[in-house]
Amino acid sequence: MDETDPILLDQRAAGGAALPRLLGVVSLALGAGGLLAPRAVARLTGVDDSPAALAVIPAVGARELAHAAGLLAGRRPAGWAWTRVAGDALDLALLVRARADRRGERCRRVGRTTAVVAGLAAVDLFAAVRAGRARAAHRRAIDVEVAVTVNRSPAEAYRFWRDLENLPRFMAHLESVRVEDVRRSHWTARGPAGRPVSWAAEIVDDRPNRSLAWRSMPGTRVPSAGRVRFVPAPGDRGTEVRVRLRYAPPAGALGRAVAKLFGEEPEQQVRDDLRRFKQVMETGEVVRSEGSPDGTSLRQQAAQRPAQPLPAARR
Amino acid sequence: MKATVWAGRDRVKVTTVPDPSIMNARDAIVRVTTTAICGSDLHLYHGYIPAMRKGDILGHEFVGEVVEVGPQVRDLRPGDRVVVPFPIACGRCSSCRRGLYSVCENSNPNAGLAEKIMGHSPAGIFGYSHLLGGYAGGQAEYVRVPFADVGPVKVPDEVPDDQAVLLADVFPTGFMGAEMCDITPGDVVAVWGAGPVGLFAAASARLLGAERVIVIDRYPYRLRLAREHIGAETIDYEDTDVRDALTELTAGRGPDACIDAVGLEGHHGNAALYAYDRAKQAVRAETERPFALRQAILACRSGGVVSVVGAYGGFVDKFPMGAFMNRSLVMRTGQCHVQRYTRPLLDRIRRGEIDPSFVVSHRMPLKDAAKGYRIFQKKQDDCTKVLLKV
């Protein structure tokens, strides 16, 4: 499974770089104007009566070119959107002072310029905030790829997985999956405070005995996707089961709840899921010990109970 | 029920714990009649194996009577008398299918922990730390046996507990140590360690046709067992230079195979050399004291086999890799795949080829387990093997 798997849409792209790039084009135009035709710009904005304007306007233009470079060529255009916001604040301050000194037509021109700059500032602020959120969402996102070899045929492994209601038997974060029809299903995860988190999902790619991909329905609160591939292991070694899981937890309390499902080490947790999958496929069920009565789990390994039988009340 | 639990370094106690119950469909509950203390239990006792918790029930050698079976166990029924192999193995993974039961891929629920230390996880073991599964052990009145359709072997009435319990670990472990030597006619086999595993390795080397068997230890009573019950020659390393003696005994060839049945808590006749490794072990700069292993490698004839059945847990220092590589040695090792050996060795016992109970020196009730650990650890009262009667 590579980055370009068309089924597992890159959820990072949403709210990404398109708007900052557009603002970069605006900066480029303003910068070029300020540097190449400062007199025309001074007339247009109503400050052509000030000798200082011919020094200030090219400086503003140079600054805009720097913004443009960052927004158009930089690796993180979102960060540059904030420099535009700062530039807007400076320009607005200059314009407010310029308007106080002027009367008549020049005063009206300065006013119009102020309105345009204020509008651009609002767009800049929006872009910067949105890009910041997208970055935070990217940090929250869980994207894990793990594999295990199972001593079963690809067909057997596929059949078990294709019945999505089996998933909670080995995926620790899931409480239940209810299959609604051939494609659609309803997933419920264990919330940390005992409050379940639910979403609807659909199978988006089904290649019997080879691979299966699923994705949350558009608009659900917990964007998620996954693909599992069943590849015959070389020789007589069973099946290589390769899984990619993606969760894009939303901002806020729900997102924190989803992130908590996977804990500090999501990869380790998915690895444990696959270990349990292997146990269920090969031995029939999840293997339990007195120290790990709920079976393989990272959290349980860290907090083992003594290796002696459970009290009757806890069975 | 009563059970022997780990209570901290150098402390075990017999205490009351909940009775076990079926947790998986392939479980059985066994009422233990005889259980044994193993030399490897002493590694736990001394705190050399990580991931022990106070209250862990110890013990991985036991025989008893089946009292309950899970719905997936078809070959056993209540009332069957069974011996249970110490590695817990599912019987269905690729490793089990190849007979490598002690590296079962499914039986350690804490495999993630073991992988961090060992790369991949070995099988779970009864009563042998949370690193190896966190399973309750068998030095108790009852024990839950996972994968009871794979491990337990029914014991016929004519084979008493005192013989059968040795099939859980020490006899098969010694036997595998000898089997890994690929013994051919004329072979001389040297065995380091005359504890139960070393004695069974020596006895098994004989069964498998070794010409001469040489046993190395420092306890005269144990060396006497090797001479009297196995017909082995013996070397007391406290008063004899082992490599000189082996060179002499084999006219310069060196033993064709060398078996390390000592493991991580070895002892060395040279006080300075012993102190070196003991000190490094104390500050945890190395986890083992590999004297026997080093000596076995240097003593072995070129192209010979070094077979390691003594238990190791971590890292060794000063491994003589130069000798090992330049002299074309072969090392074979592993926790015993007991499930492979229980039935064939039970047959050898029934045919009268060997009475393994010659290693048993002490029998006492379960409630005296703490005393059993103490005298076994201190080698008091000519202690070789302690059986606990339940």
Are residues B360 and B318 both part of a single domain?
Answer: no
Residue (of B2, B4, B35, B30) closest to B16 by Cα position: B2
Q: What is the pLDDT of residue A124?
A: 87
Task: Give chain A positions within 8 Å (CB) of B55.
Answer: 306-308
SS3 B68: strand
Interface residues of A toward B, Cβ cutoff 8 Å, are: 149, 151, 237-238, 268, 271-272, 275, 278-279, 282-285, 287-293, 295-296, 298, 300-301, 304-312, 315
Q: What is the pLDDT of residue B359?
A: 98
Residues 6+ apart with CB under 8 A from A70: A24, A77, A79, A80, A83
pLDDT-based confidence at A5, cuts 50/70/90?
A: low
Query: How long is chain A?
Result: 315
CA distance A12 to chain B (A): 31
Q: What is the pLDDT of residue A255?
A: 78
Q: Do A290 and B5 touch (CB under 8 A)?
A: no
Q: How many CB atoms lie within 10 A of CB B208?
A: 16
Q: What is the pLDDT of residue A2?
A: 45
Are residues B211 and B85 both part of a single domain?
Answer: no
Residue (of B281, B275, B286, B279) closest to B319 by Cα position: B286
Domain boundary among B333, B357, B380: B333
Are residues B195 and B160 both part of a single domain?
Answer: no
Q: Which of A69-73, A208-212, B111-115 has the lowest mean pLDDT?
A: A69-73
Residue B229 belongs to domain spanning: 171-333
Are residues B264 and B284 both part of a single domain?
Answer: yes
Residue in chain B lying closest to A239 (CA)? B94
Q: Which of B128-132, B137-141, B276-280 has the lowest mean pLDDT?
A: B276-280
The domains of chain A, with CATH numbers, are 11-137 (no CATH), 141-305 (3.30.530.20)
Q: How many CB atoms lie within 10 A of CB A34?
A: 22
Are residues B236 and B141 both part of a single domain?
Answer: no
pLDDT-based confidence at A12, cuts 50/70/90?
A: very low
Are residues B19 and B139 both part of a single domain?
Answer: yes
Residue B118 has pLDDT above 80, yes or no: yes
- Cβ–Cβ under 8 Å, residues B255 and B189: yes
Name the percent of chain B in helix, strand, coil, to the closest 5. Answer: 35, 20, 45
Candidates B25, B124, B130; nearest CB to A284: B25
Q: What is the pLDDT of residue A103?
A: 84
Q: How many domains would you assign to chain B?
A: 2
**Span B17-21, mean pLDDT?**
97
One-letter identity of residue B302: S
Interval A36-77: pLDDT, tens: 988 888 888 888 888 888 888 899 899 888 888 888 887 776
Residue B319 has pLDDT above 80, yes or no: yes
Domain of B243: which CATH number?
3.40.50.720
Residue (of B167, B181, B193, B185) closest to B354 by Cα position: B167
Residue A11 has pLDDT above 60, yes or no: no
**Span B239-264, mean pLDDT?**
95
Are residues B218 and B289 both part of a single domain?
Answer: yes
pLDDT-based confidence at A19, cuts 50/70/90?
A: confident
pLDDT-based confidence at A248, cuts 50/70/90?
A: confident
Are residues B373 and B277 both part of a single domain?
Answer: no
Domain boundary among B310, B333, B356: B333
Are residues B235 and B142 both part of a single domain?
Answer: no
Are residues B133 and B276 both part of a single domain?
Answer: no
CA distance B28 to chain A (A): 13
Q: What is the pLDDT of residue B285?
A: 65
Judged by a CB distance cut-off of 8 A, whether residue B57 touches chain A is: yes
Domain boundary among B306, B333, B360: B333
Domain of B33: which CATH number?
3.90.180.10
Q: Which of A30-34, B92-96, B282-286, B306-310 has the lowest mean pLDDT?
A: B282-286
pLDDT-based confidence at B25, cuts 50/70/90?
A: very high
